[in-house]
Amino acid sequence: MSTECRLSLEDIFPESRKLIPDNIWGQLSSVNSQDIDPVVFTSRLKSHNDLDKMYPYIADLASVELAVHNASVFSNPASMDEKKFALNPTLKIVPVSWMNLPSIIIPKENNQSEPVKKDGFVVVYKQSGRADIIVEDATDEMLLALKIVVEGLDLRDVAKAAETTVWPLYCALRNSTARGALVEQQSKIRRSLSYPRGKNIDQGFFSSDVFTLQWHITQSCDLHCRHCYDRSDRANVSFDSAVKILDQLYDFCTAKNVTGQVSFSGGNPFLHPDFKKIYSEASFRGFALAVLGNPVSSEALEDIVSIEKPVFYQVSLEGLAEYNNYVRGEGHFDRTLVFLDLLKEFDIYSMVMLTLSRANMDQVIPLARTLQGRADLFTFNRLSIVGEAHNMLLPDKEEYRKFLQDFLQESEVNDVLTCKDNLINILLRDKCKELFGGCAGHGCSAAFNFLSLLPDGEVHACRKFPSKIGDINTYNLLQIYDSEIAEKYRMGPTECAECEIRPVCGGCLAVANSFGLDIFRQKDPMCFMKDNSSN
């Protein structure tokens, strides 16, 4: 800093100057009529006996003020590493023997607290994108978060040592990030820049902060549905293998700077003999947990809630009682309604999924009215004509468009209905309404923010049809995700490449596969994007 623009000590230490008598200030602040270096000034304060008697906290106060000054003039941030959390480059941690000093420097509503003798730390930093300087006594939570980042600690090791789970540690990191002491790196799960960027497409649809592993831990099931897409004989994942997979997922999420979610499914995941243990291991690693399954007993629910309440529990209904029971078995409809009430008792968010075909399309809206007030969310996926569904039919394009129009209209008055199918965005676009995220928040999310893992280790881009992209017994999750075949699924059909709503659409690969199309080239056969002129 040049002499011309150099700040005076009074500017750097304004609160200290208010306290220090003029004669002492003159002694401490100059040598041969020249201001001394601010660092030297603070060291002189520490050894001045008279000041120590008057204001024993004065040296600490000056050290904090110097940190505030340094943060205010900080202009050359150091390069940050690639990890999810990094220190705010302006952050200064000042060890002090007195607390409440921040209230002297930045008083809040004229409520200045007296300094209290207590060893601790004051953190000083400039919030990203703002001129404000934050000065605060460091809490134990913040110090823990900073220690984790500075020392590059693995949250799993810290959790084990503290006999807790990863989640509260992760929350500590997120809380310190929200305050600005830490900086959270961008997710590396991002759409290719070659994607079209329509004028109504929120840029948030191009990246995902959450990655979901839909994990089919068993093929065992207490139902035998007429449209089941996979009744193949696959051995349960073993507990030891499950733990290794969870560590792989943890490492994957760390490498991609995302939060992980595990959606347990099957079959019925509760029929896996080690489900509770696997669920507990997933909880320990801080993943958000969900269940895609069948109705279970209150005791079974209590078992998992005692570990961690799932963020949602999804069950399936295929229409009104008679048709649903035809597909899923006698009594299933009533059992599911009772189970939805049970989920409400446990305060678990309930989701109902319907597999839509020509046979049950006209039952969706009546079922939605039945579920209103009973479920938290009801939506549908179109049928994938694989496995035992080979004799079932999908509606034709025009039938489906009319259905979607009715569905969208009903959703405006029935809050249980939720849009999921990507093609609904065509209608929203036509109506100049805000587009939504499509199937899994980013249009077709096959191999993007979602992968499906089968009990024997096969990894699929989408569970609704055969879309194997690797085997976790041969390659790790990161290698499989970054593979060339996974990228092909992420890009989707080339016929959709120039579509302005592609980031929130891409149709349904499983439906295209049902019609025997080349899913990497030909678009969803039920897409009606080019038929809009008739509306």
Compute CA 249 distance to the chain's CA centroid, rounded to the nearest angstrom. 14
Confidence of residue 532 (pLDDT cuts 50, 70, 90): very low
Which of 211, 227, 361, 349 lies closest to 292 in space, CA to CA? Answer: 349
Q: What is the pLDDT of residue 383?
A: 97
Q: Is 190 exposed, middle or buried (0-12, 13-18, 19+ CB in 10 A)?
A: middle
Q: How many CB atoms lie within 10 A of CB 468?
A: 13
Confidence of residue 32 (pLDDT cuts 50, 70, 90): low
Confidence of residue 46 (pLDDT cuts 50, 70, 90): confident
Lowest mean pLDDT of 38-47, 264-273, 348-357, name the range.
Answer: 38-47
Our CA angle for 407, 497, 419, nearest 5°, is 15
Compute the distance between CA of residue 185 and CA of residue 88 in angstroms, rounded to an integer.
11
pLDDT tens per residue across span 7-25: 788 999 999 999 999 988 8
Which of 312, 246, 234, 235 lies closest to 279 in space, CA to CA? Answer: 246
As a whole-number percent, the residues of the chain with pLDDT over 90 amount to 78
Longest Cα–Cα distance in the chain? 98
Pairing of strands 458-460, 450-453: antiparallel
As given in the structure block, the two tokens for residue 430 are 């036509």
Mean pLDDT computed over 346-357: 98
Polymer length in residues for the chain: 535
Q: What is the pTM of this model?
A: 0.90
Confidence of residue 83 (pLDDT cuts 50, 70, 90): confident
For residues 384 and 358, the answer to whether their CB atoms sit within 8 Å is no
Q: What share of the chain is helix, strand, coil (3-state, %, to 5)?
A: 40, 15, 40
Compute the distance between CA of residue 415 and CA of residue 424 in angstroms, rounded to an integer.
17
Q: Is the predicted pLDDT of residue 487 greater than 80, yes or no?
A: yes
Q: Using DSSP, state whether 508 is helix, strand or coil.
A: coil
For residues 453 and 468, the answer to whether their CB atoms sit within 8 Å is no
Q: Is the predicted pLDDT of residue 319 greater than 90, yes or no?
A: yes
| Helix locations, 119-238, DSSP H | 140-151, 155-162, 166-179
As a whole-number percent, the residues of the chain with pLDDT over 70 amount to 93
Long-range contacts of 202-209 (CB under 8 A, 24+ apart): 202/435, 205/437, 205/441, 205/442, 205/443, 205/503, 205/504, 206/442, 206/503, 208/258, 208/441, 208/442, 208/445, 208/448, 208/449, 209/258, 209/259
pLDDT tens per residue across span 448-472: 999 999 999 999 999 999 999 999 9
Q: How many CB atoms lie within 10 A of CB 535?
A: 11
Mean pLDDT computed over 124-130: 84
